[in-house]
Chains A and B, each alone.
Chain A
Amino acid sequence: MNTSEAIEYYIVPFLGYRVHADTISVTWMLIAAALIGGYLFSRKISPVPGRLQSAAELLVEYYHELAFNMAGKRGRRYVPYVMSIFLFVLSCNWLGLFPSFLKYGHVQISMPPTRDLSTTLALALISFVAFQYFGFREKGWRYILHYFYPIPLLVRSLPKFLLFLIPPLFVLFVFLNIVEELARVLSLSVRLMGNILGEHIVASSLLGFVIIVMELSIVFTPIPDVLPIFILFLGMLTGAIQAFIFSVLTLSYIAHAVEMEEEH
């Protein structure tokens, strides 16, 4: 019962498409909140950090260290994109834990916008574009040769005649590498969506069970008061881990696309 409601969307016709209005309204409000909050926060940055600024600096420093471990000195320029993804996905996932004034079956819990394949697929496609963009920016047009090699060959270090000799031998690897790129997009999007959707189904089923127990009122137990705490804990943990995984995998694939020989 809760499963079939977890995969329904509030459909609105827009420009001829049937658009999921609940997902889009929540994500656009999140974007607006992030922009306004970021702007207001950035005006109050001081050399002696307060508490919020210290916490934010912890997170940013952690990501800078990760980027340095993966991509070397140039890792710093990928951190803004990766952290934006992390914060966006984190807030999307955690939004599914708030109560809602709409009733989905028995249960009044909000729907996280990342349960929609549209959101996660959009993020994965933007990351796909980011891989190609960063690859081309670091290596020039030679990034195309990435697709011709069976191993991630470090294209800048080969002598020029060898660079053009090897691709005709490995022409079939183009298909393999293209399939690998598409599999990355698919796995990124489906991993996030499946985790959040599954967690949301479990959470709403458990909460529905709580409501049924309360409505029966045969036995007075403290279970209805205590169970939502565990549901909240599980939801927050899964949401945070999946957001972190998405961002770290994006960073890892970007580092894979731009690696050069002299870094190692």
Chain B
Amino acid sequence: MREKYWIVGILALLAFMLMWCTGAAQAKNDNPPSQQIAQHEGGPTEGTPPSGMTENQTTPPAGEKKPFDGKAWLYIISALASALGIGIATIGPGIGQGSAVARAMEAIGRNPEAQGKVMLTLLIGLAFIESLVLYALIVSLVLLFGDPFGKFFH
């Protein structure tokens, strides 16, 4: 199939051009032309802890008293919701995984030479069950650290 690589090249070129067109349109909406240089850099630096702020957040000026308004309640309830969410989400899959492992051990005990197939099926089943917890974990992390509703209060 070595002679078909030029197809891949043309497809990559088309994808690149598509990215260029859509990306340029997106950039114009994100930044007005006066701010296009010196984009904010997040992430790691040598020796200093990275700042946890993304481009959307603004700091209140230092020394000003922060009012206890709807924004504070939003973050309080978000913290509570994220903790409760992931806590409750691990109950069901925990029981399910315990039951799965119990049945698998029973099956191995009944028929020790099928151990390879039983363990493989057990692992795949455990991964399926585990992914249910992970959906809840993602939602919980987004609520805590992704600030999804902050834009309604700024």
Q: How large is the interface on B (under 10, 10 to 19, 20 to 34, 35 or more residues)?
A: 35 or more
Chain A nearest Cβ from B31, distance in angstroms: 9
Known A3-B145, A8-B50; contact A22-B131, beta-carbon cutoff 8 A: no
Q: Tell me if B52 and A4 are in contact (CB < 8 A).
A: yes
Residues of chain A with a CB closer than 8 A to B58's CB:
none
Residue from A104, A190, A241 in contact with B44 in the complex, judged by beta carbons closer than 8 Å? A104
Residues of chain A with a CB closer than 8 A to B20's CB:
15-16
Can you name the residue of chain B whose Cβ is closest to the Cβ of A65?
B116
- How far, in whole Å, are A128 and B48 apart by their CA atoms in the complex? 41
**Which of B20, B28, B49, B134 has most chain A Cβ within 10 Å?**
B134
Tally of chain A residues near chain B (CB < 8 A): 37
Residues of chain A with a CB closer than 8 A to B59's CB:
none
- How far, in whole Å, are A141 and B77 apart by their CA atoms in the complex? 52
Report whether over half of chain B's contact residues are helix, strand or loop; otherwise say mixed.
helix
Residues of chain B with a CB closer than 8 A to A66's CB:
120
- How far, in whole Å, are A13 and B36 apart by their CA atoms in the complex? 10
Residue from A10, A104, A242 in contact with B41 in the complex, judged by beta carbons closer than 8 Å? A10
Chain A interface (Cβ < 8 Å from any Cβ of B): 3-5, 7-18, 22, 66, 101-105, 187, 190-191, 193-195, 197-198, 241-242, 244-245, 248-249, 252
CB<8 Å pairs between A and B, sample of 19 = A3-B144, A4-B52, A7-B141, A9-B43, A10-B44, A11-B43, A12-B39, A15-B19, A15-B23, A16-B20, A16-B24, A16-B27, A17-B23, A17-B26, A103-B46, A103-B49, A190-B134, A198-B134, A241-B127
